[in-house]
Amino acid sequence: MVFFHTYSDLSCGFGEAGRGSVIIILMSLTVAVDIGGTHIRVAVYEAESTKPIAHHRTRSQANKPGVYDRLVKAIESVWQKGKVTAIGMASPGPLDPYTGTILDTPNIPEWNNFPLGPNLSKHFGVPVYLDNDANMAGLAEWRYGAGQGHHDVIYLTISTGIGGGVISSDRLLQGFHGMGAELGHMLIDPNGPICGCGHFGHAESFSSGTAIARHVNEQLNAGCKSTLQAGPDLSAAQIADAAHAGDALAIAAFERAGHYLGIAVANYLTIFDPSILIFGGGVSQAENLLFKPFEESLRKHIFHPHYLDNLVITRAGLGDNAGLLGALALARMKSS
Ligand SMILES: [Zn+2]
């Protein structure tokens, strides 16, 4: 196991998609869209480049009506008529990437069984390809980021929730229903805490930022001594700061999260046997607070130590651009 091998080359390389007639490659543009809870981001890319020639960002106002109209306007603001050949999108899920339908995403209440892909394809007259944001970030890290050159990749983003993306034998794992690789919702303990999805004991309910803050709040309300104050605004970042300052409860909270994360990842390795494990998301910036207990737990719970031989564990290299670049990679893969 190669722990936190530093990924130093953050410059975006060139994708492999877009093979075909040279004339078509030079003229074709791809539009990539990242629909987040706070912002919609749109960018236009030439040929095989990962540097946008135009981009636009607008507030998504996900809880208010008109998200689709705001999205269309954002795309229109960068549209180059006759030159764009495909649109790729990273969207909150759950969704069906094969039909382009958003099923019932909690972030955007008005998109319930919403045919986002078909609607946009009809409006703009080009194919639209979409998948969930974590899958797209994983795809981007494999194509253009920390996972380049690997054939079997697990990407995990740990923030308020836990999302995952899996590349298996150089293919994005989507599954029969397009709902594969929901790594945050792997069941760890059916008697565990409630998860963001409403079920109990999923990996996200133990090791996400929300889970860490909830656990600390519970301990504070039970009378545990700490420099932290209980409250709804208590964040994993505040708890990490307290842990770095030596607060025992804060340290124990990250140890608990790392312990369960190790169990979850032991399960993932048993199924997917990757050569690299890439961590994104704000909570993963807690570094050794989380990853030391994680590593100990992973070694303890893994079925066979050979899974850990030459396994690279590293941090994501693309930051906030991962969603856009994943959407770009998806559109290029699907339309090539
Ligand atoms: Zn869940």
pLDDT digits (tens, 9 = 90+) for 239-258: 999 999 999 999 999 999 99
Whole-number Å distance between alpha carbons of 118 and 315: 35
Pairing of the two strands 84-91 and 29-35? parallel
Contacts of 336 (CB under 8 A, 6+ apart): 17, 18, 19, 20
Sign of torsion over alpha carbons 190, 192, 196, 202: negative
What average pLDDT score do residues 76-94 get? 95
Q: Is residue 157 predicted with pLDDT exceeding 60?
A: yes
| Distance in Å, CA 297 to ligand 1 centroid | 21
| Distance in Å, CA 205 to ligand 1 centroid | 7
| Distance in Å, CA 186 to ligand 1 centroid | 7
| Distance in Å, CA 154 to ligand 1 centroid | 18
Pairing of the two strands 276-280 and 112-114? unpaired
- The pTM score is 0.90
| Distance in Å, CA 194 to ligand 1 centroid | 8
- The tokens for 135 are 């899958």
| Distance in Å, CA 83 to ligand 1 centroid | 41
| Distance in Å, CA 230 to ligand 1 centroid | 24
Res. 26 pLDDT band, cuts 50 70 90: low
| Distance in Å, CA 311 to ligand 1 centroid | 27
More confident residue, 336 or 102: 102
Q: Residue 309 has what DSSP assignment?
A: T
| Distance in Å, CA 236 to ligand 1 centroid | 19
**Which helix (H) or strand (E) segment is 220 a member of?**
helix 209-221
Radius of gyration of the chain (CA): 20
- The beta-strand segments (E) located in 147-224 are 153-158, 162-168, 171-172
| Distance in Å, CA 209 to ligand 1 centroid | 14
What average pLDDT score do residues 139-146 get? 98
Res. 2 pLDDT band, cuts 50 70 90: low
Which residue(s) pair with 153 in the sheet? Answer: 167, 276
At which residue do the structure tokens 């600390």 appear? Answer: 216
Minimum mean pLDDT range among 33-42, 90-99, 102-111: 102-111
| Distance in Å, CA 203 to ligand 1 centroid | 7
| Distance in Å, CA 52 to ligand 1 centroid | 35
| Distance in Å, CA 255 to ligand 1 centroid | 21
What is the tens place of the pLDDT at every residue in 168-196? 999 999 999 999 999 999 999 999 999 99
| Distance in Å, CA 105 to ligand 1 centroid | 13
Whole-number Å distance between alpha carbons of 55 and 43: 4
- The tokens for 271 are 């199924």
> Which pLDDT score is estimated for 27?
66
| Distance in Å, CA 77 to ligand 1 centroid | 37
Sign of torsion over alpha carbons 320, 8, 134, 86: positive
| Distance in Å, CA 75 to ligand 1 centroid | 32
| Distance in Å, CA 195 to ligand 1 centroid | 5
> Which pLDDT score is estimated for 24?
43
| Distance in Å, CA 33 to ligand 1 centroid | 26
| Distance in Å, CA 265 to ligand 1 centroid | 15
> Which pLDDT score is estimated for 22?
46
At which residue do the structure tokens 């410059």 appear? Answer: 11
Contacts of 145 (CB under 8 A, 6+ apart): 7, 10, 278, 316, 317, 318, 322, 325
| DSSP symbols for 221-233 | HTT---SS--STT
> Which pLDDT score is estimated for 107?
83
| Distance in Å, CA 190 to ligand 1 centroid | 11
Res. 1 pLDDT band, cuts 50 70 90: low
